[in-house]
Amino acid sequence: MMTVTAARRLRDGRSCFVGIGLPSTAANLARRTHAPELVLIYESGTIGAKPDRLPLSIGDGNLAETADTVVGVAEIFNYWLQPGRIEVGFLGAAQIDRYGRVNTTVIGDYADPEVRLPGAGGAPEIASACREVIVIVRQTPRSFVERVDFVTSVIRGPLTVITDLGVLEPDPETRELRLTALHPGATLEEAREKTGWDLSAVPGLAVTEPPTEAELTALRNLE
């Protein structure tokens, strides 16, 4: 449901900064279903990649072999990402708080952390420069916290958070994340139990449409 929901958010003809894992699966699923002209951009420098299988990493040769062009990493960031030429960016998160701030740096105090995480990578640039950001993360009290332990990335534009329970988006006035849709079988009570703040929901909470047979077939063919 997380992959299919994310794929449906990607419109045909847009440019998308893709990471490995669920973001890559979602982007490639979108290309094989409703968005064949979606432009996939990977951090390694491939622009317009059209992989015939899911890449193992951003350095997978299949990305370069199927791309429209390959440029250096510095060019991807300096000439494509930072000037705002990429429309949609994907992010993961170890923690995300009620205002959509993302932590991928440390759990606990920065000087003496409980866990040292992989760090920022390109996340701060993706968060601030992409015109829209989609965060994919499983919903647990450890990941959905009142306030992140460290602010790695601040998202400037429109934000969608897709979890294994539903979809969250910022309130237009307060900017606090609120539940806008539930996946089939999930409940509001369950979502609130797995959130570290008093999670609110929009009136008339939507239910995500189940995957279609075409989406499931395309998804299985990606494996």
| Active site positions, annotated | 43
Listed residue (57, 148, 137) closest to 107, CA to CA: 148
Minimal CA–CA distance to 166: which of 177, 152, 157?
A: 177
Each as own residue / partner, the long-range contacts of residues 107-113 (CB below 8 Å, 24 or more positions apart, any chain) are 107/149, 108/149, 109/149, 110/149, 110/150, 113/149
Burial class (CB in 10 A: 0-12, 13-18, 19+), 36: exposed
What's the distance, CA 186 to chain centroid?
20
Integer Cα distance of 40 and 32 in angstroms? 12
Q: Read off the tokens for 109.
A: 């105090």
> Residue holding tokens 């079988």?
185
* Contact assessment for residue 51 and residue 66, using Cβ atoms and an 8 Å cutoff: yes
d(CA 180, CA 177): 9
d(CA 168, CA 68): 34
